[in-house]
Amino acid sequence: MRKSDLDCLKNIPNIFTLVRGFSFIDNAVLKDNIALTMQYIMFLLAITQNHSLPGAVNFMVYKDMIIHTASISESILCYALETLIHEKRYTLEQLKLRESGKEYTEYQRYKNIGGIEVGIITKCSKYISPQEAQFNQLIKAGTHIQLLKDDLCKELDALRILRNNIHLGTLDDVDDSYTVEQVNAMFGTVKKLKQTMMNFLTQ
C-alpha cells in the first residue's frame, strides 16, 4: 500500500536547518539530538493543529511534547554550565552544585602550644558536575551566577514540575488535564532560554 504525504508536515524544517539554529552549541552530538527532538515536537504540533484527534490522543500528544521540551531545556542549561566551567569562567563552588543528601565528615587534628590536641570536625558536601545534577539543581546553579533571571527561573521550574508530575503520575486523578496553552507557554520558555544561553556564551 502506497503511503501518502500529509500537507501539514511539508513545512517542518529538516534536521540540518534545525541544527543551524543551535550554532552556539559546539557539541555536534548534542546539537543533532536537540534537532531530532525539535523536529519530532514540530511533527506533533503540526498534527494537533491541523487534524481532529480523539481527546485521549490529544492529551497524550501534549504530555509527549512537555516531556521532550523539558528535556531540551535541561540539555541546553546543562551544556551552558559545563561550558562556563570548562572555560574557567565559573567553578563548581560558585555554582553551588553539591551532591544531594551525601555529606561526609572531615577531621583535622591540631596541637596547641601547651601540647593539648585539638580536633575540628567539618561536615562537607561533594561537588558534582552539571551532567550529574538534577534539573532543579541546574536551575539553582544558573541563578547563583545570574545566568537565569527570576522570570526565566520560575518558568523553567514550572516546566520541570509539569514534567515531573507526568513521570510521577498517581492513581488519584485521571491524567488528562494537559492543554495546548501549557504547550505554547513552554515553547516560549525554551525560546527565551535559548536566547539567554546564546547571549551569555558568546559574550
What is the arithmetic mean of pLDDT over 18-37? 95
What's the confidence (pLDDT) of residue 52? 87
pLDDT at 105 over 60: no
**For the CA atoms of 60, 66, 67, 69, what is the dihedral angle to 10 degrees?**
140
Residues 191/14, Cβ–Cβ less than 8 Å: no
- In this predicted model, which residue has the larger pLDDT, 102 or 94? 94
Residues 127/97, Cβ–Cβ less than 8 Å: yes
What is the arithmetic mean of pLDDT over 110-131? 71
What's the confidence (pLDDT) of residue 51? 87
What's the confidence (pLDDT) of residue 9? 86
pLDDT in tens, 36-58: 999 999 999 999 888 888 878 88
Question: Which residues lie closer than 8 Å to 169 by C-beta, 6 or more apart?
Answer: 175
pTM greater than 0.85 (yes/no): no
For 35, the grid coordinates are 534537532
What is the arithmetic mean of pLDDT over 125-142? 91
pLDDT at 143 over 80: yes
- In this predicted model, which residue has the larger pLDDT, 82 or 119? 82
Other beta carbons within 10 Å of 177: 10
For 97, the grid coordinates are 552544585
- Greatest extent of the chain over all pairs of C-alpha atoms, in Å: 94
Residues 82/199, Cβ–Cβ less than 8 Å: no
12 phi and psi, to 5 degrees?
A: -70, 125
What's the confidence (pLDDT) of residue 136? 94
Residue 86, Cβ density class (10 Å: 0-12 exposed, 13-18 middle, ≥19 buried): exposed
Domain boundaries, the chain: 7-95+132-201
